Amino acid sequence: MAGFLSTFQTASELGLITSIAVLALFISYINLNICDLSTDGSFTLGASVGAVVAIAGYPYLALFAAIGAGMISGLVVAFLQTKLHINSLLAGIVVNTGLYSINIAVMGNSSILNLNKTRTIFTDFKSLLSSTFLNNYYKLVVIILILALVVTFITLLLKTKFGLALRATGDNLEMVKSSSINPTIITIIGLMISNGLTALSGSLMAFSVKSSDINIGSGIVTVALASLLIGTLFFKKRGICLKAIGAIIGAVLFRFVYTLALKMDMPASYLKLVSAVIVVIALSARYVKEPVLRGVDGIKKLFGGRKNA
Amino acid sequence: MKKSIRTGLILSAMTLLASCGVSKQADTFTIGICNYVDDASLNQICENIQEVLKEEGKSGVKFDIKYQNCNADRAVLDQIISDFISKDVDLMVGVATPVAMAMQAATEDNNIPVVFAAVSDPVGCQIVDSLAAPGGNITGTSDYLDTNSVFNLMFALNENPKKVGLLYDLGQDSSKTPIADAKSILAKKGVEVVEATGTNTSEIIQAASDLVSKGVEAVFTPSDNTVMTAELSIYETLANAKIPHYTGADSFALNGAFLGYGVDYANLGKETGAMVVDILKNNKDVATYPVKTFDNGTATINTETCAKIGFDIEDVKTKFAPYCTSIKTLTTAESF
C-alpha cells in the first residue's frame, strides 16, 4: 500500500514542479494571449543553467541563475515579436530551436549532467527534515513552499496597475493602445516573467530527478497547456489566486492520469495519446457538460439534433 | 439503498487494497526493465535480456517482467520508475545512460539493486565509482567503444587519408569521448578533420551531404543513436560518393553503413540478462560486482555497400584480419 501511495507522491511532485511552468503559461497564454512555444527550450535552459551552477557549489544561486537565464530567453522572444514583428508562434519556435544549441553549450558540450551527489535545495531540506514526520515528504515541502511564493507573486502582480495593463493587452489590444499604455513594454515584461518561471520549473525538475538532460523539457508545452486547460475547468469565474490554484490542480491531475495508466500496465508510448484525449476532453467539457447532465435529450441535441430550445 | 451503496464501496475499497497487497510467490522475482527510446540497438538489448530471463524461468527461478519505454520523456521516466518501485520490483534494469542515472537517483534510499545496460562511460557520468567495484547498488554492462580499433581498420584500407569526416550528434552523451579520441588520433596522423553534426534525421542528412561536398575520404561515427536512426537515409549518399562509413556498432551496417565495428548488442543484452539472474539467484553483492565491458572484436561489413564503393570484399577481409577477432558480412536489412 505504501508503494501504491508513493507513485501518487511522485506524480504530485512532478505535477507540482511542472505546475510552475503551467503558471508561466497562465500569464502568457491566458492573460497575455500569447502562445509561447519557446517553453520547452526555456524549461531545459533552466534545468541546464541550474545544474551547472549547482554543480559549481551554489545550490541557491542556481535557482536565481535559472530564473535570470529564462528571463533573458523571454526577452529575446518578446523582442522578436514586438520589435522585429515576427509572428508570436514563429518567434517561440525559433527561440526554442536556438536554445537547443545553447543548452548543449551551457552543459559543457554534453547532453546530460549527473546531480546525484550535488547539493541542492532538495538535499538541504532532506537533511533538515530527516528526523521529523516530514522525513519522506521533503520534496513536496520544498515545492509547496516555492509554489506558495510563486502564486502570491502572480496574484499580487496581476492586481497591480501593471498587471491590469498586462491582462488588458491580452484582452483588447486596441483599447490598451488608445489608453496610452505601451503594449510593447507590457509584452516584453510579461514574457520575461513567464519564461523566468518556466526556467525555475525546469531547474527544480533537474534537482528533483537529480540529472539534467537535453530532453528534460521536451513536450512540456503540451503538458502545461493540457494542465492549464484541465485547470480552467475549476474556478472558472473566480479570482486570480483561485484560477492559479486551478492551474496547479490541473498539473497534478494530469500526472495522476499518467500514474493510473501505468498502473494498468499501459505501455508508456500511449501516454501521449492519453494526454491528447485529456486536452480534447478539457476543451470540449464546457460544451458537453450541460447536455450530458440533461440526459439522452441533451446528448441528441449536442450531436446535430434540431435546436428547438 | 444507501446502505447497499456503502457496503459496495467498502467491498470495492477492500478488493483494491487486496489487489495491491497480493503476496509474491517466493520463487518469483519481479524485474522492471525500462528502455530509453525506440532504437535498433537498445531494442535488441531489451529483447535479449527478456529472452535470457524467460529461458532461465523454464528451469530455475521465475521472473515476472515489467517492460516500459519512456521514449526520452524525463518526467515519464520518473513515473515509470516510481511505478516499478510501487510494484515491489526486486531489481531494475535501466537501458541507456539517462535511465541508469534516473534509477540511481530513485534507489538512493531504498537500495533496490539496479543493473544497467549500454552505458558508454559509467565512471565518467558518476554512475559507478570504478568498473571493478561499483560501490553502490548499481552495476551493469558498458558498451564502451575502443575508438582506436575502428581507426586501425580505416587506416588498413586507406593508409594515409587527407581528410576524414566525423558525423555525430552533439546531444548524444555516448559520442563525446569517442569523438574526442578520434580527433586526437587523426591529429597525431596529421589528417584534416571535418566535423558535421545534426540533432535529428533531416539535419544528419544535410550534414552527410556537406561531408560529401567537402571531399572527405572516409566518415567515422561512434555508437550515436541519432545517426543510427538516420543511417538508412544517408548510406546511399555516402556510398555513391565512394566514401566508406566507419561506425561504432554493427546495427549501423545492418542499416547500410560500410562497416559496423564494436559491441554486439544482442550479446550485450544476453550478458546483462545473465548478470540479473546471477545477482538475484546467487544473492550477489552489487557493490562489488564489476561492470562488464566487451572485447569489441567483431567487424561487420555490409557487402552491398562495399561493392558500391568499389572495394573488393575479399581484399577488405584480408586487410582487416590483423585488426579484429572476427569478420561478419551482411546486406542491408529490408525490415527490422
pLDDT digits (tens, 9 = 90+) for A86-103: 999 999 999 999 999 999
Do A151 and A24 touch, CB atoms closer than 8 A? no
Domain that holds residue B170: 147-264+296-330
* Preferred mutation among A213, A216, A258, A260 to probe B, highest tally of B CBs within 10 A: A213
Q: Tell whether B249 and B197 lie within a shared domain.
A: yes
Nine-digit cell string for B195: 566535423
Q: How many other β-carbons are positioned within 10 Å of the β-carbon of residue B283?
A: 7
Buried b (16+ CB within 10 A) or exposed e, B299-312: bbbbbbbbebbebe
Tell me the DSSP string of A78-142. Answer: HHHHHTS---HHHHHHHHHHHHHHHHHHHTTS-SEEE-TT---HHHHHHHHTTTSTTGGGHHHHH
B156 CB within 8 Å of a chain A CB: no
**pLDDT by residue, tens only, chain B of 336 residues:** 455 555 555 545 544 444 444 444 457 899 999 999 887 789 999 999 999 999 998 887 899 999 999 988 888 999 999 999 999 999 999 999 999 999 999 998 888 999 999 998 898 889 999 999 999 999 999 988 788 889 999 999 998 999 999 999 987 877 888 899 999 999 999 999 999 988 888 889 889 988 998 999 999 999 888 898 888 889 989 999 999 999 988 889 988 999 998 778 888 999 999 999 999 999 999 999 999 988 667 889 999 999 999 999 999 999 988 888 788 888 887 655
Nearest C-alpha in B relative to A117: B126
CATH number (domain holding residue B281):
3.40.50.2300
- Which amino acid is residue A20, in one-letter code? I
Q: How many other β-carbons are positioned within 10 Å of the β-carbon of residue B325?
A: 10
CA-wise closest residue to A165 among A192, A185, A150: A185
A304 CB within 8 Å of a chain B CB: no
Q: What is the total count of domains within chain A? A: 1
Q: Which residue bears the cell 545496460?
A: B117
Position B17 in a domain: no
Position A88 in a domain: yes
Q: Tell whether B104 and B252 lie within a shared domain.
A: no
Alpha carbon of B82: minimum distance to chain A alpha carbons (Å): 5
pLDDT tens track for B124-159: 889 999 999 999 999 999 988 788 889 999 999 998
Torsion of Cα atoms, B21 then B26 then B27 then B29, to 10°: 40
Nearest C-alpha in B relative to A9: B82
Q: Tell whether B60 and B138 lie within a shared domain.
A: yes
CA distance readout (Å), A193 to A78, A150, A239: 11, 11, 20
Q: Tell whether B205 and B281 lie within a shared domain.
A: no
ipTM over 0.90: no
Contact between B79 and A11 using a beta-carbon 8 Å cutoff: yes
Q: Return d(Cα A214, Cα A167) in angstroms, integer.
A: 33
Domain that holds residue A150: 2-216
Q: Tell whether B170 and B314 lie within a shared domain.
A: yes
Q: Return d(Cα B48, Cα B32) in angstroms, integer.
A: 15
Position B184 in a domain: yes
Q: Tell whether B272 and B133 lie within a shared domain.
A: yes
Phi-psi region at A307: left, alpha or beta (left = phi > 0; alpha = psi -120 to 50): beta
Q: Tell whether B200 and B241 lie within a shared domain.
A: yes
* Preferred mutation among A102, A103, A110, A117 to probe B, highest tally of B CBs within 10 A: A110
Q: Tell whether B185 and B277 lie within a shared domain.
A: no
Residues of chain B with C-beta less than 8 angstroms from the C-beta of A215: 72-74, 98
Q: Return d(Cα B271, Cα B287) in angstroms, integer.
A: 18
CA distance readout (Å), B66 to A265, B57, B71, B91: 8, 15, 16, 11
Buried b (16+ CB within 10 A) or exposed e, A24-51: bbbbbbbbbebebbbbbbbbbbbbbbbb
- Does A218 or B81 have the greater pLDDT score? B81
Please report the pLDDT score of residue A173 as a whole number: 81
C-alpha Rg value of chain A to the nearest Å: 20
Q: Tell whether B174 and B87 lie within a shared domain.
A: no
Nearest C-alpha in A relative to B20: A1
A41 CB-near residues (< 8 Å, 6+ apart): A73, A95, A96, A97, A98, A99, A100, A103, A217
Position B73 in a domain: yes
Alpha helices in chain B (DSSP H): 2-20, 40-59, 74-86, 97-106, 147-157, 173-189, 201-213, 225-240, 250-254, 265-281, 303-309, 313-320
Position B8 in a domain: no
Position B30 in a domain: yes
* Preferred mutation among B65, B76, B85 to probe A, highest tally of A CBs within 10 A: B76
Nearest C-alpha in A relative to B21: A1
Q: Return d(Cα A191, Cα A19) in angstroms, integer.
A: 17
Position A56 in a domain: yes
Which neighbouring-strand residues pair with A222?
A: none
Q: Tell whether B189 and B283 lie within a shared domain.
A: no
Say what percent of chain B tops pLDDT 90. 54
Do B211 and B234 touch, CB atoms closer than 8 A? no
Position A108 in a domain: yes
Position A165 in a domain: yes
Q: Tell whether B84 and B215 lie within a shared domain.
A: no
Q: Tell me the angle at which helices B97-106 and B74-86 cross, rounded to the nearest 10 degrees.
A: 50
Alpha carbon of A201: minimum distance to chain B alpha carbons (Å): 12
Q: What is the total count of domains within chain B? A: 2
